[in-house]
Amino acid sequence: MIRDTTIGAKLWITAVWVVVAFFVINLLAMIATVIMSSFATRWLGTWLPAGWTTNWYFTAWSEFQLSDVLIVTFQIAFTVVALSGLLGVTAAYALARRDFPGKKLVMLLFLLPLLVPPITFGIPLATVLYQAGVGGTFWGVVLANLVPTVPFVILVMIPFIEQIDPKIEAAARVFGAGTFQLFVHVLLPMLLPGILAALLLVLVRTVAMFELTFLTAGPTSQTLVVALYYSVFAAGVRAVQSIDAMAVVYMVTTLIWLLIALRFVNPTQIVARAKQQQTTA
Amino acid sequence: MTSASSNSLDHRISLRQRLALRGIDGVTLLVLPAVLFLLAVFIYPFIYGLILSFKPKEGGTFANYRTFFSDPFLYDTILTTLWLAVPVTIISIAIALPVAFRVRLMTHQRLLTTILVLPVTLGTVLVAEGLLNYLGPQGWFSRTLMLLGMIDRPVKLTNNYWGVFSSLIITGFPFTFLLTLSYVSGVDPALEQAAATHGAGSWQRFRHVMLPLLVPGLAIAFCLSFVQAFAVFPSAVLLGAPAGPTRVISIAAYQAAFEQYDYSMASAIAMIMAVVQLLIVVAVLGIRNMFYRGSTAGGKG
Report the pLDDT value the prediction gives residue A256, as an integer from 0 to 100: 87
Report the pLDDT value the prediction gives residue A166, as an integer from 0 to 100: 86
DSSP assignment letter at B218: H
Residue A220: which of A105, A137, A125 has the closest Cα?
A137
Q: Which residues contact A75 (CB under 8 A, 6 or more apart)?
A: A138
The reply to whether A19 touches chain B by the CB within 8 Å rule is yes
Q: Are A243 and B133 in contact (CB under 8 A)?
A: no
Q: What is the pLDDT of residues B158-186, one digit of tens each?
A: 888 999 999 999 988 988 998 888 888 88
- Residue B296 confidence (pLDDT) above 80: no
Q: What is the pLDDT of residues B256-276, one digit of tens each?
A: 888 888 889 999 999 999 999
CB contact under 8 A, A117 and B227: yes
ipTM of the complex in this document: 0.84
- Identify any residues that bridge with A40 across adjacent strands, giving them in sequence order: A52
Report the pLDDT value the prediction gives residue B92, as an integer from 0 to 100: 94
- A124 to chain B nearest CA, in Å? 5
Report the pLDDT value the prediction gives residue B132, as an integer from 0 to 100: 86
Report the pLDDT value the prediction gives residue B1, as an integer from 0 to 100: 42
CB contact under 8 A, B34 and A210: no
CB contact under 8 A, B102 and A121: no
Distance CA A91, CA A150 (A): 9
- Residue B104 confidence (pLDDT) above 50: yes
- A94 to chain B nearest CA, in Å? 5
CB contact under 8 A, A47 and B143: yes
Q: Of B64, B91, B125, which to mutate for an interface test with A (greatest number of A Cβ within 10 Å)?
A: B125
What is the pLDDT averaged over residues B135-155?
84
The reply to whether A275 touches chain B by the CB within 8 Å rule is yes
Q: Which residues of A touch B193 (CB under 8 A)?
A: 2
Q: Which residues of B touch A34 (CB under 8 A)?
A: 126, 129-130, 133
CA angle (B220, B240, B222) in 5-degree steps: 5
- Amino acid identity of residue B13, one-letter, is I
- Residue B114 confidence (pLDDT) above 70: yes
Residue A66: which of A213, A247, A256, A218 has the closest Cα?
A247
CB contact under 8 A, A272 and B179: yes
Report the pLDDT value the prediction gives residue A281, as an integer from 0 to 100: 33
- A236 to chain B nearest CA, in Å? 13
* Burial tier of B218 (Cβ tally within 10 Å: 0-12, 13-18, 19+): buried
Report the pLDDT value the prediction gives residue A267, as an integer from 0 to 100: 62
- Residue B11 confidence (pLDDT) above 70: no
- B125 to chain A nearest CA, in Å? 6
CB contact under 8 A, A232 and B125: yes
DSSP per position, A138-189: HHHHHHHHHHHHHHHHHHHHHHHHHHS-HHHHHHHHHTT--HHHIIIIIIHH
Report the pLDDT value the prediction gives residue A110, as an integer from 0 to 100: 92
pLDDT: is B13 or A66 the higher one? A66
Q: Of B19, B22, B42, which to mutate for an interface test with A (greatest number of A Cβ within 10 Å)?
A: B42
- B10 to chain A nearest CA, in Å? 23
CB contact under 8 A, B45 and A19: no
Report the pLDDT value the prediction gives residue A80, as an integer from 0 to 100: 96
pLDDT: is A3 or B120 the higher one? B120
Fold for domain B53-288? MetI-like fold (1.10.3720)
CB contact under 8 A, A147 and B254: no
CA angle (B223, B274, B165) in 5-degree steps: 55
Residue of A nearest to B225 (CA): A115
Residue A246: which of A47, A24, A65 has the closest Cα?
A65
CB contact under 8 A, B297 and A126: no
Report the pLDDT value the prediction gives residue A72, as an integer from 0 to 100: 93
Across the interface, of B117, B173, B269, the residue whose CB is closest to A23 is: B173
DSSP assignment letter at B108: -
Across the interface, of A12, A33, A101, the residue whose CB is closest to B139 is: A33
Report the pLDDT value the prediction gives residue A274, as an integer from 0 to 100: 39
- B127 to chain A nearest CA, in Å? 8
CB contact under 8 A, B41 and A146: yes
Cβ under 8 Å to B: A residues 84-103 = 87-88, 90-91, 93-95, 97-101, 103
- A277 to chain B nearest CA, in Å? 9
- Residue B16 confidence (pLDDT) above 90: no
- Identify any residues that bridge with A52 across adjacent strands, giving them in sequence order: A40
Can you list the residues of chain A whose pLDDT is less than 70? 1-4, 235-236, 266-281
Report the pLDDT value the prediction gives residue A77, as an integer from 0 to 100: 95
Report the pLDDT value the prediction gives residue B301, as an integer from 0 to 100: 42
Q: Which residues of A touch B84 (CB under 8 A)?
A: none
Q: Which residues of A touch B202 (CB under 8 A)?
A: 2, 4, 9
Q: What proportion of chain B, given as a percentage, has pLDDT over 90?
A: 20
Phi, psi values for residue A244, rounded to 5°: -65, -35
Q: Which residues of B touch A28 (CB under 8 A)?
A: 115
- What value does the mean pLDDT of chain B take? 84
Q: Of A3, A4, A17, A27, which to mutate for an interface test with B (greatest number of B Cβ within 10 Å)?
A: A27
Distance CA A182, CA A68 (A): 41
